[in-house]
Amino acid sequence: MTQPPGVPHQTQQTSTRLSDGRELIYFDASEASAALHRDTASTTDRRGLPPRGSAGTARYDALTGEWIAVAAHRQTRTHLPPADQCPLCPTTAANASEIPASDYEVVVFENRFSSFGPDLGSLPRSAGWGTTATALGRCEVVAFDSSHEGSFGSLPPERARTVIDAWAQRTEALSAMDGIKQVFCFENRGQDIGVTLLHPHGQIYAYPFIPPRAAVMGEQAVAFSDASRGTSTLLGSALQAERDSGERMVIEGDHFSAFVPFAARWPLEVHLVPHRQVPDIAALTPAERDDLTTVYLDLLGRVDALYSTPTPYIAAWQQAPLDARLRPASYLHLQLTSPRRAEDKLKFLAGSEAAMGAFINDTTPELVADRLRNAVPVSSR
């Protein structure tokens, strides 16, 4: 971290509204930046945007018991604009962007092309074939830095730490909103993943239901906890086993460790896990957030050191569902996955994966872990 030893990281928040009513929040570690954003004259959105459109819909799939969002309005969202038209860069005379200020550290705002929301509330408790409801919830964009180039891994530690504080604050705030069942922070990096904006950013989805994968992991965690009569957690036991073995370990920090999971689905997959069971990022202590900053940047540097070009990935924060039965056994962790299986090859979901959800990995977790352990992080070169 860049602050002097013993001086805690302090993040200030300044909330405002864009011209169509969407909320925007500046997160600042420096007082000078915070003061700029408290000046409403310099942070007013003068674009005069039209009122927000109505929310999309959610359709119930009776064959699987899952809700599917239908968001046809997203077809018109911005797609890989040139740098001088980037909607995540600070506003200039030539480019009135989504961020009215002339500069910023970290910004979170409601997505203009939202898959869920802006309406809040609960989905129907009873659903069957043909059930359609409003796609309730909220989707937010997290701009990691005012610079147009890079990703989370290229951030300086101080800025990365501010992003973590933003994730924590938004997780806590979104979790308290009416009808929200799951808060999901994530970063998509690379055009091969489907990124539509090159500016370093991530997103946060606040779902009105528990997504299928989170539900499966929650049920597994509950079953393990029940079998141990509450004396241990599923992921905690897995973490301890990996640390004892060392075969698939990549990094061990003071409060966080990273390892390649025993049954990895993807050719490149790493789990980043806190040593203490917590439900979400908001529950991390300042010391844990500091260590997360260090370990996460180290991990991303190793991922990018594997090949001569940046590796596309999805960094997905698995936080505990907002469910009284699933939450106590759940355990915060990051799942970083990439379809890159070689310098010039990507794994595409074929029949077994796409149709049946039965994954076939083209690499061994042990080999991937060994390569990551021996990689020299890009930031250390």
Q: Phi first, then psi: what are they for 234, rounded to 5°?
A: -65, -55
Residue 6 is predicted with a pLDDT of 55
Rounded to an integer, what distance in angstroms lies between the CA atom of residue 119 and that of residue 55?
7
Which pLDDT belongs to residue 363?
A: 94
Same domain, 143 and 255: no
Kindly state the average pLDDT of the residues 140-157: 97
Structural domain range at position 169: 12-46+85-124+133-208
Residue 258 phi, psi dihedral angles, 5° rounding? -125, 135
User: What confidence score (pLDDT) does residue 381 get?
Assistant: 54
350 and 253, same domain (yes or no): yes
Whether residue 58 is contained in a domain is answered as no
pLDDT digits (tens, 9 = 90+) for 70-105: 988 776 677 788 999 999 999 999 999 999 999 999
User: What is the identity of the amino acid at 2?
Assistant: T
Q: Tell me which of 192, 208, 224 is where a domain ends.
A: 208
User: Are residues 237 and 328 part of one domain?
Assistant: yes
Q: Do 263 and 375 lie in a common domain?
A: yes
| End-of-domain residue from the set 153, 173, 208 | 208
Q: What is the DSSP letter of 75?
A: G
Quick check: is 67 in a domain? no
Mean pLDDT on 186-204: 93
For residue 380, pLDDT over 80 is answered with: no
21-63 residue pLDDT tens: 999 999 999 999 999 999 988 899 999 999 988 889 999 999 9
Per cent of the chain over pLDDT 90 is: 88
Residues 97 and 25 in one domain: yes
- 277 with 322, same domain? yes
Main-chain phi, psi angles of 286, to 5 degrees: -55, -40
User: How is residue 58 annotated by DSSP?
Assistant: E
Quote the pLDDT of residue 194: 85
Average pLDDT value for residue range 272-296: 98
Q: Which residues are catalytic?
A: 201
Concatenated DSSP letters of 75-118:
GGS--S--GGG-TTSBP-SS---SB-SS--SEEEEE-TT-SS-S
Backbone angles phi, psi at 196, to 5 degrees: -105, -10
CATH of the domain at 102: 3.30.428.10
Query: Tens digits of per-residue pLDDT, 91-100?
Result: 999 999 999 9
- 228 shares a domain with 103: no
In a domain? residue 321:
yes
Is 272 within the bounds of a domain?
A: yes
The arithmetic mean of pLDDT across residues 264-277, rounded, is: 98
Q: Are 226 and 359 part of one and the same domain?
A: yes
What confidence tier does 371 reach under pLDDT thresholds 50, 70, 90? very high
Among residues 208, 224, 258, the one where a domain terminates is 208
Q: Do 237 and 374 sit in the same domain of this protein?
A: yes
Residues 200 and 287 grouped into a single domain: no
Q: What is the predicted pLDDT for the residue at 181?
A: 98
349 domain residue, yes or no: yes
Quote the pLDDT of residue 59. 96
5 has a pLDDT exceeding 90: no
Q: Same structural domain for residues 365 and 297?
A: yes
Structural domain includes residue 62 = no
Average pLDDT, the chain: 94
Whether residue 277 sits in one domain with residue 155: no
**Is residue 196 domain-resident?**
yes
Question: How many structural domains are present in the chain?
Answer: 2
In this prediction, residues 189-193 reach a mean pLDDT of 91
Alpha-carbon span 84 to 73, nearest angstrom? 25
Q: Among 143-147, 223-227, 323-327, 377-381, whose mean pLDDT is lowest?
A: 377-381
Is residue 80 one of the residues assigned to a domain?
no
